Amino acid sequence: MSVLATPRPEAARSAAAHSPVEFRLLGPVMVHDATGGADIVPAGSKQRALLAAFVTHAGVLLDVDRLAAELWDGAPPGNAANALQAHVARLRRLLPAPGDYGHAWISTLPTGYLLDLGGASTDVQRFTRRSAEGRAAVATDPARAAKLLHGALELWRGPALQDCRRGPVCAAEADRLDEMRLTTLEALHEARLRCERHGECIGDLERLTADHPLRERFYDLLMVALYRSGRQAEAIGVYERARRRLVAALGIEPGPALRGRLESVLTHSPGLVAPGVLDELDRLRRRVDELGRQQLELTRRLNAATAGPQAVAR
C-alpha cells in the first residue's frame, strides 16, 4: 500500500482559516460541507463507525487490528484487512474534496490508517471550547457564562456518536462526551441561578434528576432553585428523593455537599439567597445606616437650635 500525500505546512495553515468542512460527532455522525450546505452521512453502520473512530483519533495512527475490532465488535472476519481497506476506499470517495493543495483526508500507512483534519474542524472542538470558556466565567460573569454554555449545548443534535457506540474506541469517546455534556449542564444551571433565573431552572432540573438519578449535583441545584422560589418544603423533599434513590441503587447516603445543602435550607442560610438579592440587601443596610446618621445629625442640630435662645435668656 502506498502512503498518500500530506499537505504542505504553508498550504495547511492557509486552509485552516477557510475550510468549509466540519466533522460532526454530537449526534448522528456526519460531515458538513458549508460550500454547498450539504450534510454527508455514511449509509452503513460500519462506514459511520469508521469515520467516527478516525475523527475521534484525528492525527493518530489507528492500526488495522484496532479498527477491525471496532467495526466487527471484537470478532473480525478472516479477511478483515481487505474488508477494512474496502471500507476506507468507500469512505474516501464519500468525503468532500479537501482542497487543491495536495492534502488527503485519510493516509494509508504500513500498519494502519490516519485521518488528517488539515484545516477542517469538528463540532466537538467547538463544544469543548465554548464549554470551557463558559465554565470559567460562571463566578465572574454568569450572564456571559450562561450564553456560552447554552451555545455549547445547542451543538448537540442527539446522543454523541449516535449508532456508533458499540466498538471500544467510539464507546470510550461517547462516554467522555456524555460526561462533558452533564458537566456543562451543571455549570449552565449554576450560572442561571447566579443570574436570579431560578424559576426557569426548576423544570429542567426536575427532568435532569429523573434522567440521572445518581448525580447529586442536579439535586443540589434543584434545591437551591426551589428554595429561592419560596418552596422550602419541596426543596427538602428533593433531598429525601435523592437519598432514597442513592440508598436503593448504591446503598450509600448523600455526600457532604448535598447534606450541607439540606442544612442550609433548614436553617435559612444567607448563602442560599441569590447574589443579586444579597447585594440589594447590603445596599439597603448601608442606606439605613446612612439615614440613621443623618437623623442623628438633624436631631443634634435641632437640639442645638432650640437650646440656643434658652441659653441666652438665662
CA dihedral for 277, 278, 280, 281, sign (positive or negative) = positive
- Record the pTM: 0.80
The residue from 99, 122, 145 where one domain ends is 122
User: Is 264 a domain residue?
Assistant: yes
Identify whether residues 14 and 115 lie together within a single domain: yes
Q: In this predicted structure, what is the pLDDT of residue 273?
A: 83
- 199 in a domain, yes or no? no
In a domain, 273, yes or no: yes
pLDDT value for 295:
75
Each residue of 88-116: pLDDT tens digit? 999 999 998 876 545 689 999 999 999 99
Above 50 in pLDDT, residue 35? yes
Per-residue pLDDT band for 71 (boundaries 50, 70, 90) equals very high
Q: Is 302 among the domain residues?
A: no
Q: How many Cβ atoms from other residues are within 10 Å of residue 33's Cβ?
A: 18
Crossing angle of helices 45-56 and 80-94, in 10° steps, is: 80
Whole-angstrom distance, CA of residue 161 vs CA of residue 140: 34
Residue finishing a domain among 122, 137, 156: 122
Decide if 77 is inside a domain.
yes
* Structural domain count, the chain: 2
Residue length of the chain? 314
**CATH number of the domain that 15 lies in?**
1.10.10.10
Amino acid occupying residue 148: L
What's the pLDDT tens digit per position in 192-230? 999 999 999 999 999 999 999 999 999 999 999 999 999
What CATH number did the domain enclosing 259 receive?
1.25.40.10
Task: Name the domain boundary from 55, 90, 122.
Answer: 122
Residue 212 domain-assigned (yes or no): yes
pLDDT for 78: 86
Write out pLDDT tens, residues 272-309.
Answer: 886 654 454 444 455 565 666 667 767 777 777 776 55
pLDDT(62) > 70: yes
Which pLDDT score, from 0 to 100, does residue 72 have?
Answer: 92
Q: Does some domain include residue 19? A: yes
- Structural domain that includes position 90: 9-122
State yes or no: pLDDT of 17 exceeds 80.
no
Confidence of residue 11 (pLDDT cuts 50, 70, 90): very low
At 14 the pLDDT is 43
Is residue 147 situated within a structural domain?
A: no
The single residue listed with the C-alpha cell 469515520 is 51
Q: What is the pLDDT of residues 72-92, one digit of tens each?
A: 987 888 899 999 999 999 999
pLDDT in tens, 121-164: 999 999 999 999 999 999 999 999 999 999 999 999 999 999 89
